[in-house]
Structure 1
């Protein structure tokens, strides 16, 4: 895909496995400007970043409380969060659409940010609760002896120790929401995410001579950010998943 993105369409068909005769960066320029792919990339980055941070801000303290303050209520709440993993999107999109329509949030990125944050909370709480349980309690007991409050212990001591789990949650959120299409089609009209822009681009190609090299450039713009993010944070992700599910 990456090699073909630098070729001409003729080279893609005549020598699909060969190297391009020259690096045609104009394919990326055309892909970026075609069918609002540039707007889609920027909007998706904003959605992934804001919803990922918001999910962690809400899920991390909840997970810490559920993992440390053991009582019957915390067990029930944990089960409720886990049940949220089984709610299909098709079961909630109609009430969500009606609610956002009444709030005037149709065709707004805010509505998608709320959806992505809400739908990501069950898994985030589930994973982080298990991750916090793997952290030693001795550190917290030492902090209490030194006079630290519960909030100080959580924010200054335990949260940094849970960095691998937090990075894992953010990365998995990014993977799940970067190319999300169902809710984006539901609430957006004249705005684009990367998935909607790519869909529009593929439709436009049917009537403009099928510029496959430009299409490969557009696909590369979709895939490469996640690959770079995964290469950068890959070791943290494996560590976080192993710790979270191992408990």
Structure 2
């Protein structure tokens, strides 16, 4: 029986190899610290999620209470669900008209943003020039400009546009159109940047194969790349809808007619009248009307959003 190489090696050599295989104390300490930090972050996120779920359930339950139950039993269940709170919020407080304005303005703004941003992002993702990277940097900088810094310019431009259209073109103007255009301008930097990163994560071999088959750039983009990037497009669309649905500042500044304002502004107006009406159940019902559509939208598109954000970050 022939002795193995390890048997013939000096004893010191085996101990040296074992020492190399064992992690250093500093590395073990770092790994242990990473594990503790990861566990703490996960625990904190789950606690945060639990708090949000509890708060949402509490708001829904409170929206079904009478004014007296809101104060006497704030954490209990309603004795008799007051569904009329939703009817009062919808009709008396003007949430019906506000919901129509919100859906119209947000849908038009989000769709127009996608129509403009999708081809722009595709071109920036596929053009191999230094100028393309510079343009992408400008869009990234645009994401960091606070909305408060744009209040005065947008207010002046919306007034000038309304005056021009009323006196020289159509004879009328709806401030919600100006609001939709402002929303498009505010949404474009983030949307173009996100979609550019997503298109860069897609393989170029598919476009090369389409070119070999005789497809032009426009056909390749419309029939191949847009369906292939559907998860990224859905992500950008949903994030824009959520952001615009909850926007209040520019609604109060641009839209002068209270009957044309969106749901966040209507909810704020309802809160301002609470000192006269004391309709707390209707106020919580209005909060549910405002928040619940976005929660349902996230439940439907949550997996697509995570998949698109992950795929866009890999590249």
Q: TM-score range by the shorter chain?
A: over 0.9
Q: Does structure 2 retain, via aligned residues, the 8 Å contact 1:9–1:211?
A: yes
Q: Which has the larger radius of gyration?
A: 2
What's the RMSD between the two structures over aligned residues? 1.5
Decide which of 74, 84, 97 is 1:39's aligned counterpart: 97
For the pair 1:132 / 2:199, whether they are aligned, the reply is yes
Cα distance in structure 2, aligned partners of 1:34 and 1:238: 40
Distance 1:219 1:168 in 2: 25
Q: Deviations over 1:80-134 (max 9, x none)?
A: 2112112222332222222221221786101111011111001001100010111
Say yes or no: does 1:162 pair with 2:229: yes
Q: For residues 35-184 of structure 1, what are the structure 2 equivalents within 5 Å?
A: 35-104=93-162, 108-184=175-251
Q: Secondary structure at the match of 1:148?
A: coil
Look up the match of 1:192: 261
Question: Residues 19 and 41 from structure 1, CA distance in 2 versus in 1: closer, same or farther, beyond 3 angstroms?
Answer: same
Whether contact under 8 Å (1:84, 1:122) holds in the other structure is: yes
State which of 208, 215, 233 in structure 1 corresponds to 2:283.
215
2-structure distance, mates of 1:245, 1:188: 38
SS in 1 for 2:80: coil
Q: What runs of 5+ residues in structure 1 fail to find an aligned partner?
A: none
Corresponding residue number in structure 2 for 1:25: 83
Change (3 A) 1:188 1:107: farther
2:293 equivalent to 1:235: no
**Count of residue pairs brought into register by the alignment:** 246
- Name the TM-score, length of structure 1 as normaliser: 0.95
Q: Could you list the runs of 4 or more consecutive aligned residues of structure 1 that deviate by over 3 angstroms after TM superposition?
A: none
For 1:203, the equivalent position in structure 2 comes to 272
Which of the pair has the greater relative contact order for Cα pairs under 8 Å at 6+ separation?
A: 1
What's the secondary structure of 1:237's corresponding residue?
Answer: helix
**What is the TM-score normalised by the length of structure 2?**
0.75
Q: Retained in 2: the 8 A contact 1:185–1:196?
A: yes
The CA deviation at 1:57 is 0.6
Structure 2 CA distance for aligned equivalents of residues 32 and 120 of structure 1: 29
The runs of 5 or more residues in structure 2 that have no matched partner are: 1-58, 164-172
